Amino acid sequence: MPEISRFFGIIIAMYYKEHAPPHFHAKYGGREASIRIDTGEVMDGDLGARAARLVEEWRQIHTSDLMTDWELAQLRHPLNKIEPLE
């Protein structure tokens, strides 16, 4: 699972040839969640409230970057790193 960003101990990654809808995976403190790129809906898992807020803030800033990486992943091309939340 290629890591595309990391901030405040949260790891953001995306799998190649993943199923729709477009989403990414976030890991923090032994927890993991799958999150829709377009809406921020948590499709599966749980990060805890603080980490979820940080990931949502980051997602809103980087939605277009995430969609670009989603399209690259579907083609099995290398993914772009995305700036962390600061």
Task: Write out pLDDT tens, residues 18-58.
Answer: 889 999 999 999 999 999 999 999 999 999 999 999 999 99
User: What's the structural domain count of the chain?
Assistant: 1
Q: What is the pLDDT of residues 51-85, one digit of tens each?
A: 999 999 999 999 999 999 999 999 999 999 999 99
Instruction: List the domain range (segments joined by +) for residue 59.
Output: 3-74
In a domain, 40, yes or no: yes
In a domain, 59, yes or no: yes
**Cα angle at 72 between 52 and 35, to 5 degrees?**
20
In a domain, 86, yes or no: no
Report field, pTM of the whole predicted structure over 0.85:
yes
In a domain, 12, yes or no: yes
In a domain, 45, yes or no: yes
**pLDDT at residue 1, rounded to an integer:** 74
In a domain, 84, yes or no: no
